[in-house]
Amino acid sequence: MNKRIISLLLVIVMALSLVACGAPAAPAATEAPAADNVPMQYIKHDEAKELLESDEYVFFDIRKAADSSANSIPGAQAWDMDAAKEGDAEAGKATMTEATKGLDKKIILVCYSGKRYAQAATNALSAIGYDMSKVYTLEGGFTNWSEVLPELTTAAPKADAPELSKVRLNWGGSGNILVALALEKGYLADEGIEIEFVPATNNNDMLTLLQSGQVDICTNAGTADPLAFIAAGADFTIFGGHMLQGCMPIIAKPGTEWNGVESLVGEKLGIKPNYFAITGALMEAGYEDPLSVADFQPLSYNDAVAALMRDEIKYALVGTSQNYPVQQLVEEGQVEIVSWHGDVMPYYSCCRMEATTEFVKNNPNTVKAILRALLRAQCYFEANKEECPPILAGIQGVDNAVVEAFMLNEHYMPTLDPLRNGIVRAWDILDKTGFLDENAKTINIEDHINTDLYEQALAECTELYGAEDPDFYARALEFYNEWNK
């Protein structure tokens, strides 16, 4: 056999034996880029961000139009290159021709990850003769940018985004723990809502500010006064609540007998006659004209306490924010608490949330955003009641003991529910006792109650946050169905 053939066979045998023994094979060749792809030059996000305000650069967001319109880089121009990415080179050239018409700037291409869409745009720019030394691709694309620089993105407004970012709000003496918590915990900020407080503590003043357009929402003006304004022609809409019932004690001198609402009959009372829970309870007890069976004195809470101390009245009803001085009088043995407003008529409807009907109609998403934030606040309150007094005390600038005196009492019930049925009941009682304008006969009060926005907000909160406290959201829905259907 020819020696050259023998040598060749030996080489082949040796090579085969090396492979069989596990010798490393040569690495596979890297796939070469497509011959018609123009090389790209990249720019990192930290370099690109410094060029956002530069007159020498322009950012082209070349992702699908739906994505670039939803969220992009500030100032970026949107040029959809999806068709070009799918192989339609003519469409790509047409888009880039339009994009660069009269342009002589450096371009930073922004695609999803800095690959296929950017390559399609680069190819198209080269094909139309643009100066490719001026074309850069954002490394990592918008995906990387949005992760590293989320503050430098411009999310488009959602379809249900709040119409307003700042809302003028008023609250009264006992404050609004739900608003306070929503501020403290960032729930309102999460919704993109800033609160501007407008000071006023008198119910009539609050509602006058609302009617005159100087405040957007009232939260602490009770129920009777908003209804009186509506009866007199104010176009208000009640869309939520603050307190289902306040922490309002009925006090008397020590040893005074109390047998329920019947004890008020024939007595002189430090109770305003438009307090419908008292007059309504008397009506339920069989007294068709409750104002004729007791002497109701329209005294302020402080004046009522003073009158009681002088033995000028037998019973006095005291407001939520006066619980601290009342507790001191009880400890001193000067008065005793014989009952509570909420025991006379449970869930009587205390402070409601109202705005002008025009405001609610024009800003439904704003109202819903506020309701979602306050629902989360109510959830937090019910689970962490002991932690809440300092939050409200800090905002109001009062001693923590003043807030604890009512907030930690079982009769204090903050609830956001609109309480349609309770409002209708209050309207009927006030009408029958003569505290509504004659115009009330022509008004259907249900036209001034909006429960839809609360129902939607509750459903949205349940979906978003329900897993955090399923029992709370189940209770809220059950209560809503009971009191609003």
pLDDT in tens, 294-330: 999 999 999 999 999 999 999 999 999 999 999 999 9
Percent pLDDT > 70 in the chain is 92
Phi-psi region of 213 (alpha: psi -120 to 50; beta: other; left: phi over 0): left
Distance of alpha carbon 38 from alpha carbon 118, whole angstroms: 11
109 CB-near residues (< 8 Å, 6+ apart): 60, 62, 117, 118, 121, 122, 135, 136, 137, 138
Question: Per-residue confidence at 160, pLDDT binned at 50, 70, 90?
Answer: confident
Percent pLDDT > 90 in the chain is 87
pLDDT at 35: 56
**Fold observed for domain 166-244+350-484:** D-Maltodextrin-Binding Protein; domain 2 (3.40.190)
pLDDT over 50 at 251, yes or no:
yes
pLDDT over 90 at 290, yes or no:
yes
Say which range, 169-173, 204-208, 406-410, has the weakest mean pLDDT: 169-173
Question: Per-residue confidence at 172, pLDDT binned at 50, 70, 90?
Answer: confident
pLDDT at 346: 96
Say which range, 67-71, 82-86, 211-215, 390-394, has the weakest mean pLDDT: 67-71
Of all helices (H) and strands (E), which one includes residue 430? helix 420-432
pLDDT at 470: 96
pLDDT at 106: 97
**3-class secondary-structure state, position 353:** strand
User: Average pLDDT, whole number, for the chain?
Assistant: 91
Residue 268 in contact with residue 312, Cβ under 8 Å? yes
pLDDT at 171: 83
pLDDT at 156: 63
Q: What is the mean pLDDT of residues 333-348?
A: 97
pLDDT at 148: 93
**Fold observed for domain 42-155:** Oxidized Rhodanese; domain 1 (3.40.250)
Report the DSSP pairing between strands 243-245 and 413-414: antiparallel
pLDDT in tens, 361-394: 999 999 999 999 999 999 999 999 999 999 999 9
Instruction: Provide the token pair at 450.
Output: 């909006």
Residue 62 in contact with residue 81, Cβ under 8 Å? yes
Question: Per-residue confidence at 66, pLDDT binned at 50, 70, 90?
Answer: confident
Question: Per-residue confidence at 451, pLDDT binned at 50, 70, 90?
Answer: very high
Q: How many CB atoms lie within 10 A of CB 335?
A: 22
Q: What is the mean pLDDT of residues 179-201?
A: 93
* Closest alpha carbon to 98 in 125, 65, 136, 71: 125
Q: What is the mean pLDDT of residues 429-444?
A: 96
Q: What is the mean pLDDT of residues 14-24?
A: 33
pLDDT over 60 at 13, yes or no:
no
Which of 140-164 are b and which e, b meaning 16 or more Cβ less than 10 Å from the residue's Cβ? bbbebbbeeeeeeeeeeeeeeebeb
CATH number for the domain formed by residue range(s) 249-344: 3.40.190.10
pLDDT at 399: 95
Question: Per-residue confidence at 199, pLDDT binned at 50, 70, 90?
Answer: confident
Report the DSSP pairing between strands 77-78 and 57-61: parallel
pLDDT at 42: 97
pLDDT over 80 at 144, yes or no:
yes
- What residue spans define the domains of the chain? 42-155, 166-244+350-484, 249-344
Question: Per-residue confidence at 282, pLDDT binned at 50, 70, 90?
Answer: very high
pLDDT at 396: 86
Which of 274-299 are b and which e, b meaning 16 or more Cβ less than 10 Å from the residue's Cβ? bbbbbbbbbbeeebeebeebbebbeb
Distance of alpha carbon 237 from alpha carbon 447, whole angstroms: 8
pLDDT at 157: 60
Of all helices (H) and strands (E), which one includes residue 155? strand 154-155
Distance of alpha carbon 407 from alpha carbon 392, whole angstroms: 10
pLDDT at 202: 86
Say which range, 12-21, 106-115, 212-221, 308-317, has the weakest mean pLDDT: 12-21
Q: Is the fold of 166-244+350-484 the same as that of 249-344?
A: yes
Distance of alpha carbon 240 from alpha carbon 352, whole angstroms: 6
pLDDT at 422: 98
